[in-house]
Amino acid sequence: MGEIDAGDARSVLQRVRKQAEAGEYRITVHANQEMWDEDISLAEVLEAIVTAHVLENYPQHRRGPCCLLNGQTRRGRPLHVVCTTACEMLILITVYEPKPPRWISPTQRRQQ
């Protein structure tokens, strides 16, 4: 798929969307458990990726470049997806619905 600048949110998002669209993804045990706990389907995750924007980008993360995406399902359900950004295979690290007490809104964290 070629090299990208892991610090460039636009190219990161483009790569993540291409990987998701092509079915080039893997779901971690943690993400799978979160999806089960919050009744989030894979279809909803893929819908959210299509509409997502990069909320937080971590190009220098100690475990490898990754980002936090904020998107919505077709029915308007907000979802956050944490995923890799520089691997040949997209890895969905965690998926959840942003809600209190940790989140004020889908785009704003509560101050600690």
pLDDT for the residue numbered 8: 81
pLDDT for the residue numbered 39: 98
Tell me the backbone φ, ψ of residue 47, rounded to 5 degrees: -60, -45
> How many CB atoms neighbour CB 36 within 10 A?
9
Distance from chain centroid for Cα 10: 14
Of 7 and 110, more confident: 110
Phi-psi label, residue 75: left if phi above 0, alpha if psi -120 to 50, beta otherwise:
alpha
- Say yes or no to pLDDT of 111 above 90: no
- Say yes or no to pLDDT of 2 above 70: no
Residue with tokens 């509409």: 51
| pLDDT tens digits along 31-54 | 999 999 999 999 999 999 999 999
Count how many residues are written for the chain: 112
